Structures are given as C-alpha cells and as structure tokens.
Amino acid sequence: MHIKYFLISFLFFSIFTYSLHAQTISVESPDKNIKVEISVVKGNAYYQVYQQKEEFIGQSPLGVLSSAGDFTKGLKIVGSKKNKIQESYQLNRSKVGKVNYKANEVNCILTNTGNDTINVIFRVTNTDVTFSYLIPKSKKNNENCTIEKEITGFKLPSKSTTFITPQAPPLSGWEKTKPSYEEEYTREEPIGTKSQYGLGFTFPALFHLENKGWMLISETGINGNYVGTRLSDASTDGIYTVTFPQEGENNHDGPITATSSLPMQTSWKTITLGKTLKPIVESTASTDVVKPLIKTSKIFDAGRASWSWIVWQDESCNYNDQKTFIDLASDMKCEFILIDALWDVNIGKEKMAELVNYAKSKNVGVLLWYNSNGNWNTAPQTPKNRMNTSEARRSEMKWLQEIGVKGLKIDFFGGDKQATMKLYHNILVDAAEFGLNINFHGATLPRGWERMYPNYMTSEAVLASENLVFQQAFSDKYPSTATIYPFTRNAVASMDFGPVFLNKRLHRESNKGTIRKTTDAFEMATAVVFFSAVQHWGLTPENLKEKPSYLFDYLKAVPTVWDETVFIDGYPGKYCVIARRKNTKWYVAAINGEDKPKNISVNLPMLKGKNVSVINDGEGQESKFSTKKLDNASFNLELSANGGTVLFMP
C-alpha cells in the first residue's frame, strides 16, 4: 500500500472510531452570532445553542419514537447537508409586510441500530433557531408513520426565569371548554417552579436568562399533519421536554399521537434569542419556515370591527342592538361588525340576511359567531353542530356566502390532538373556498397560519378582554398583563384580544360592571401595541358622545396590519413601547403596566423631522391631544400610572 493511502485510511479509521463516542456538526447564523451544535454521544442525539459564545440552550435531547423506528437512542450521524437559504416573501395580514429570510441550514442524517433513517433539520437566522424532524420513505417504511412522542428538550441556564402559561386539564373550565390557552402568565418565576396544574406549559414560552438576554420558544407549521405540542415542567437540571396532548382532550376522541404518510415532517420548534427583547418582538420565525397552502387570487380583507357582545353581553345579540352597532361601525369607518353567539335564536337566519343587507348599505361587512361543536364540550351557545362535519359546514358556508357574510368567529375547540388540528385546517380550507375569513376563539395557538392560509385572520389563545368584563381582579392586573403579551403570545401570531375600551365601567348600564383601571391614552395605544389582523373594539355608541373626537379620528385611521414592526423599549409586566408602520405612516405606542407614573426617554429615528399627532395622558383617566414636529429622534414619554401614549403621522 502506498504510504499516502495508508495515512488517509488510518485517518478515516481514527475519525470513525472517535465518532462512536461523539460526533458533532455545527451551524452558524449568517452573521455568526448564533451557533448551534448537534452532537451524538453514546447513541443519544443532542443540540446546544450559543449566542456570542454564551450558552442559551445547554446540551438538550433530540429524537422521536415512531412506528418507522425508535429515534430516541442508538443513533449515529451518517451524513449532513448544508444549505444557504435566501427567500423573500410577502405577508398581507401580519405585523410585517415583506420578509427577507436568510438562514443557514444543516440537515443531519441519522440512523438507528435498525438502520432506519431520520433527518434533523436546523435553520439558523441572525435571531432564530428553528428545527424539525423528517422521516423519509424507505423500502422498509413506505406508507404511514405514527410518532408516539418527541424527546426534544430545551435546557435552560439554571438561573433563568419564566413568563409562561400553564397547560390546563382536559374538559376543565367553563362548560369543559379547556384547554384553550387562556391562562395567566407567570412573572419571572424560577425555571424549576411547578406548573399550576402539574401538566406543563403552553407555547410560546418566554425566558429571561439574567444578563445574557431573552429567549422565546414556540412551535409553528401545523396544518393537520401533526399534534400541537407543549412543554413539560422542567426537570431538576432545567430541561423542558416537548409533550403531546392529553388523552382527555377533544372529549377523549382520537389518539394523542401524530400519524401521517411518509415522508413525515414534524412541526418546527422555534427559538428566538438575543441580548434584548428586540428580536422577539420583530421575529418572523413562525412564518419563515412555512409555505402558503392554498392557491387563490382572492384577497381576504383585514380590518376593524364593532362588537356589541363585549360590553353589552348576550342580551345585545338582537336585531335592534346589532343595527345600532352596524351604525357604530359605519360612524367609526370600521370594515366589520362582529355579531356574537345566539344570533341564530335571537335574530334568526331570515332576519340575518336582512341585517347583512343593511350592513352592506352602510359599507360594513358582517362577521358571525359559531360554536365549533361537536361533542367536545358542553357550551350551550348556538349555532352549533354546523362547523364540525364537512357536510354541515359546507352547506352552512354556502348560505353564508349567498347572503354576503364576510367572515366567521368560531369558538370552543377541544385541545391540540391531531383530530382538532385537522378541524382547524378543514375549516380554513372550506372557508377560503366560500370567501370567508376566519377567527378562532377558545382555541389553540395559531402556528404559522398567517402565511399558510389566505383567509386566516386571528385567534384568541390568550386571556382576552372578556376577562376585563368578567372579573375585577383581571381588570386590576390588566395594565401589567398587557405589557407581557407583546413579548409572548402576540410575538408569534395575530392575537384577538379585543382591545380599546372607553367606558368607565364595562357594562351596558353606567353604574354597573367592572371598573376600568387604564387611562384613555393607554386604551388608544393598545390598538397599536396589540397586533390582530381583525381588531374587535370594545367601543360602545355612547363613547362617541362622551369622549373627545380626536380619539375617534385616530381610531378611524389606525391600521390593523403592518408593513414593519420595531421594538423600541419595554420589560414584560412593566411597560412596552412599539413602533409600527403601514405604507409611509408610523405609529408609536407606549403602555405603562405599573400603577405609578413613568418617564421614559426613547429613541424614535422613524419620526425625526416629522410632524406628529400625540395622544397622551391628561387629568385622571382623560387624555390630551397635541401636534408637534420632532426635531430630533429622542422623545420623552410621560406616562401616568396605568397610562399610555400614541404618536402618529397624520
């Protein structure tokens, strides 16, 4: 043997024997600030995430247990492919309008002891790490595959703290409608703290890594092909493990596992990280790794809606009150009115057609509420049994299209099993065909749907404004809660909170109901701080007579979808300042989550040299209005206790 070949084969042999102990592949972000290392040690696969050499995720397990092979142990890396991904895409119902997506991808090919193959795909941008498993077709495995569980973990640095919501038990809550992502966020609890129900936590999960920075972990890319997953409680060494749905979800119907034809790809897990909260507020990870699923030339309009139910409640779902709120929508230049539960009984289908025509004559589109039932909860509100089967749904949607309804709010789903994820998908697909836009309530976290479906608008999946009406305790805490959402739930998707209230007490009668704790300027700011492609406002007709007209001039013009979103400043639970742009016009909104006045000096380069209108705190809850030219970029926000400010280009 020639000496050179001998040396090469010796070298290969050395690498091969070494690899039995540890094999490592790494991939960096385009700017090299983030690095992911994927390794196999003694047959177990792991990954680690670093940002500027600081460890954000420690050695954490990778793997799935499936019918096409056990990929939780006995693994080795048999190859890898690296790719540079560069893609520009547009969104028209999101917090940004155009995304230039640049990522470095590594596809690690692993085999188990049975010689079954799995690919682990990591993509790293300058702010996000996303990853997904792909089980390919093979001679041995060529039909369906069932994934029993993931062992994917996230090991947090030991002193990290959390802003995270607990998973609720199945068939719990009002009329057995939970779990529905309507739980309170922790506020900087240590990572070892047990979840409220001992069932782990839901996505997205925000972690504060002391002085290292911040990290948001979530999930995207589910279209009925997978289950919605969540996180376990953390183990003693700080590892949160991906967990599948509970058996009792969807009223015990359907498996908790995920089944699909091969090749089978799992959801993507997303990790957004940085020294500050800026990458988290601005991240597009949840849309970057998904693709539009429906080809259509139809444009589904986003916009603002009047909504009687939120303050006037069930009794207002009658013909006359809805007519009043159509007039309110028209006066406010809203695109829509949302007519909530019980319209089928209190108005009826025939009268509804009349009401839709009346709305049309006022240039207002009608959105109608439906119960998603099915047997997965006992919520009595009707109409029900119209959305749960293909036949009923399609015939209902045909009628809705005929009378000119523009969209649906569908409520009370039954958890995150694949059966329920398929229902969301099927509703969106059918609704797109019948020209209806979609808003899900009592529902799961939307996972990339703003890009996947042309008619998807928004989801609740948060403790929303109904709780301001139901409980004084929620109302008392609301200013602070509102400053958590932009860094958590609303950072990954459209959020139907239903903001903007001007009543002192949230009731039809002015001397009843919960007492609002926020200032009027705070309420105006939430129209920008909260992003939802369709915003349902808490306004009532008397507000227009009682409050200054500049508030309504602002609301008549404020967009609900944006071309750009910029984090200015903030701290979850304390305050939040966000700038958003639509076309050439910037809106900068600030809310104070604390019950004490606050002065915050912010840098607003986008408003430098511009004439702006300012709505900020006046006496008590009242606001004041001014216009000014910003000579330089720095601006001092003077926020009252539970107050706010909005600056905007007229």
Q: Minimum distance from CB of 178 to Ca ion (Å)?
A: 10
For residues 23 and 177, which CB has a smaller minimum distance to Ca ion in the complex?
Answer: 177
Strand 407-411 versus strand 437-440 pairing type = parallel
Say if residues 198 and 232 touch (Cβ distance below 8 Å): no
CB 33 to Ca ion: min, Å: 39
Please say which residue, 133 or 537, places its beta carbon nearer to Ca ion: 537
Report the candidate in 129, 202, 194, 185 with the shortest Cα–Cα distance to residue 487: 185
Least distance CB 412 / Ca ion (angstroms): 8
Q: How far apart are CA 75 and CA 59, in angstroms?
A: 16
* Helix, coil or strand: residue 480: helix
Identify which of residues 135 and 310 has a Cβ nearer to Ca ion in the complex.
Answer: 310
Question: One symbol per residue from 423 to 442: x for binding Ca ion (CB under 5 A), - otherwise; what is it?
Answer: -------------------x
Got the DSSP string for 590-628? Answer: EEE-SSS-EEEEEE-GGGTT-EEEEEEE-STT-EEEEEE
Name the residue with tokens 């986003």.
302
State in angstroms the smallest separation of the CB of 32 from Ca ion.
44
DSSP codes, 550-578: HHHHHHHH--SS-SEEEEEEEETTTEEEE
Which residue, 128, 131, 16, 123, is CA-closest to 64? 131
Q: Dihedral of the CA atoms 445, 207, 127, 577 (nearest 10)?
A: 80
Name the minimum Å distance from CB 650 to Ca ion.
Answer: 36
**Residue 289 per-residue DSSP state:** T
What is the smallest separation between the CB atom of 411 and Ca ion, expressed in angstroms? 7
Q: Give me the least distance between CB of 382 and Ca ion, in Å please.
A: 17
Residue 203: both structure tokens together: 């996505």
Distance CA(389)–CA(298), nearest Å, equals 25
Contacting Ca ion within 333-392 (CB under 5 A): none
The residue among 240 and 537 lying less far from Ca ion, judged by its C-beta, is: 537
C-alpha 463/C-alpha 466 separation (Å) is 8
To Ca ion, the closest distance from the beta carbon of 180 in angstroms equals: 7
Contacts with Ca ion by CB under 5 A: the residue count is 1
Nearer to Ca ion by Cβ, of 204 and 442: the residue is: 442
Residues in 437-466 that interact with Ca ion by CB under 5 A = 442
Tokens of residue 620, six digits: 């008590």
Tokens at 630, concatenated: 């910003």
Structure tokens at 603: 């840098």
User: Which amino acid type is present at position 37?
Assistant: E
Contacts of 578 (CB under 8 A, 6+ apart): 281, 486, 528, 529, 565, 566, 567, 568, 570, 588, 589
Residue number with CB closer to Ca ion (454 or 538): 538
Question: Residue-wise over 375-395: b if at least 16 C-beta within 10 A, else e?
Answer: ebbebebbbbbbbbeeeebee
Angle between helix 349-361 and helix 319-331 axes, rounded to 10 deg: 20
Pick between residue 380 and residue 650 the one whose CB is nearest to Ca ion: 380
For strands 365-371 and 128-135, give the pairing: unpaired
CA pair distance 525, 603, nearest whole angstrom = 18
Shortest distance, CB of residue 408 to Ca ion, whole angstroms?
Answer: 15
Taking the complex as a whole, how short is the minimal distance between the CB of residue 265 and Ca ion, in angstroms? 31
Contacts of Ca ion in 494-523 (CB under 5 A)? none
Q: Which is nearer to Ca ion, 58 or 498 (CB)?
A: 498
Residue 407 or 442 having the CB closest to Ca ion: 442
| 128/340 with CB nearer Ca ion | 340
Instruction: DSSP for 141-192, please give it.
Output: --SEEEEEEE--EEE--TT-EEEEEEPPPTT-SGGG---SS--PPP-SEETT
Nearest approach, Cβ of 504 to Ca ion (angstroms)?
A: 24
State whether residue 399 is helix, strand or coil.
Answer: helix
Question: CA-CA distances (angstroms) from residue 612 to 25, 39, 522?
Answer: 51, 53, 18
Q: Which of 354, 291, 341 shows the shortest CA–CA distance to 312?
A: 341
Measured from the CB atom, the residue of 170 and 213 that comes closer to Ca ion is: 170
Question: Distances from the Cα of 269 to the Cαs of 137, 219, 237, 453, in angstroms?
Answer: 22, 4, 21, 20
Smallest separation, CB 462 to Ca ion (Å): 9
Nearer to Ca ion, 288 or 340 (CB): 340
Which residue, 442 or 570, has its beta carbon nearer to Ca ion?
442
Cβ 182 to Ca ion shortest distance, Å: 6
**Exposure of 410 by Cβ count < 10 A (0-12 exposed, 13-18 middle, 19+ buried)?**
buried
Which CB sits closer to Ca ion, 62 or 457? 457
Minimum CB distance to Ca ion, residue 80 (Å): 45
What is the contact surface with Ca ion in residues (CB under 5 A)?
442
